[in-house]
Amino acid sequence: MSAIAEIARKVQNREISAESSVQQALDRIAATRDSNAYLSVLADFALETARNLDRRLAAGENLGPLAGVPIAVKDNIVVAAGKTTCASHILENFESPYNATVIERLLAAGAVPVGKTNLDEFAMGSTSETSAFGAPVNPVHPDRIPGGSSGGSAVAVANGTVAVSLGSDTGGSIRQPATCCDIVGMKPTYGRVSRYGLVAYASSLDQIGPFATTVADAALLLNTIAGYDPRDNTSSNRPAEDFTARLEGGLKGKTIGIPREAFGEGLDAGVEASVRAALAACEREGAKIVEISLPTLKHAVAAYYAIATAEASANLSRYDGVRYTTRSKEAKTLYEVYAQSRSQGFGAEVKKRILLGTYVLSSGFYDAYYMQAQKVRRVITEDFEKAFAQCDVVATPTMPTVPPKIGDVFKDPMAIYLQDIYTVAVNLAGLPALSLPASTAGGLPVGLQLIGRPFGEVELFQVSAGAERVSGRGTRG
């Protein structure tokens, strides 16, 4: 049984109270506060929510499948009980008047949000070091980055404060932190989970997904948050599925495609060896390994950053110092309100991406950059369609290197973007993908990324669960 299913079972059977389950999580958060995983702790709200669950249970009511399960939430997903800062000074005092759809669904299932987690500012980064409130600390290797942008959500699970958490993934922001913190992270198909209440970075790429220590827990959490939402016009109206249905199905008869383009220049030799060893273990358990081609994979980073920054430029124009954002105290004219509030409120990485996006969308460059990137996006999607004619899932490393040391990626302006080389194509094509521990290289964690067909999460979880059982999870080399 998964960890969160066991918590819910104990609460339902009144072996433990929901309040005690939540209090234990709050105690663990307090004991690990130096990790900086949380930007805010929702203690009063969480305890009152848990007590209400206990009262309902005492009255004979059946609670949901996540009864009493504490959960951490990335601080770009709005929760009415507290602040949503996006790890930015420009939103440091913002309190949402409503809950995101995923929060509504978690509460309906009996889960209890206990805190809002740290991230790269406005989810723009691969290390969590661009947070205006300091980076979270990787509990596995404190001298290494925790990954980004959902670093706090990954750290919250890896250091044991909660069994599961929510992040968002625009170009790898769930899968990369999962790799760095040696846990499971899953990005669903675009449209599978409502974005209502997710603060937008790049609207055609963003997707909310789960972190967990096991594939089973990630699948169970996705069961709760997935589904059509009329408030999100990009939400799919496909019928709900049980993502845990085939977790025990095994690898026999499954075909895993290995793109030759993912195992070339730029890939660390130790990472490649760990990933190939994990795939060889899958093959011994009955999976068929075939070589495939994704010829446009090398263009994915360039296309991604043209599209993502363009959408960020448009989305972040609402933060102007006039409405709900922090306003410059020195500004005297309307222009100064706009210019100084944004200059003082946004960090360097966010300002850089806004400027890049504005340039991409500007007259004379729109066709050359943005429209060309959209054409590349279409071809990348077609490449994946051809690949899935030959295999059930596609496998790549999650990252081209082991987790870098803190500060290292900023020494090379391109290094931070090249960490995304294996993950951004998935977002461009709108596919589901999962990262799980593959083993290690030089004692540092290595992630195996498995990519599924559009809305192929059930099969993706099946293969991932099989790979999890045979890949040597937890070994150290």
Which residues form the catalytic set? 74, 149, 173
The amino acid present at 183, given as its one-letter code, is: I
Give which of 438, 454, 456 is closest to 446, Cα–Cα: 438
Long-range contacts of 187-190 (CB under 8 A, 24+ apart): 187/426, 187/427, 187/432, 187/433, 187/434, 188/222, 188/226, 188/432, 188/457, 189/236, 189/430, 189/431, 189/432, 189/452, 189/454, 189/455, 189/456, 189/457, 190/234, 190/427, 190/430, 190/431
**Amino acid found at 155:** V
197: left (phi over 0), alpha (psi -120 to 50) or beta: left
Q: In this structure, is the dihedral angle defined by the CA atoms of residues 224, 451, 313 and 364, taken in order, positive or negative? A: negative
Q: Are 380 and 426 in contact (CB under 8 A)?
A: no
Residue 389 token pair: 């004619």
| Helix, strand, coil percent values for the chain (each to nearest 5) | 40, 15, 45
How many CB atoms are closer than 10 A to CB 323?
9
- Structure tokens of 166? 């929510």
Cα–Cα–Cα angle for 275, 286, 475, rounded to 5 degrees: 35
Question: 118 near 102, Cβ under 8 Å?
Answer: no
56: region left, alpha or beta (phi > 0 left; psi from -120 to 50 alpha): alpha
Q: How many CA atoms lie within 13 A of 437 on its CB side?
A: 23
Task: For residue 120, give both structure tokens.
Answer: 């790269």
**Residue 12 tokens, joined:** 């339902």
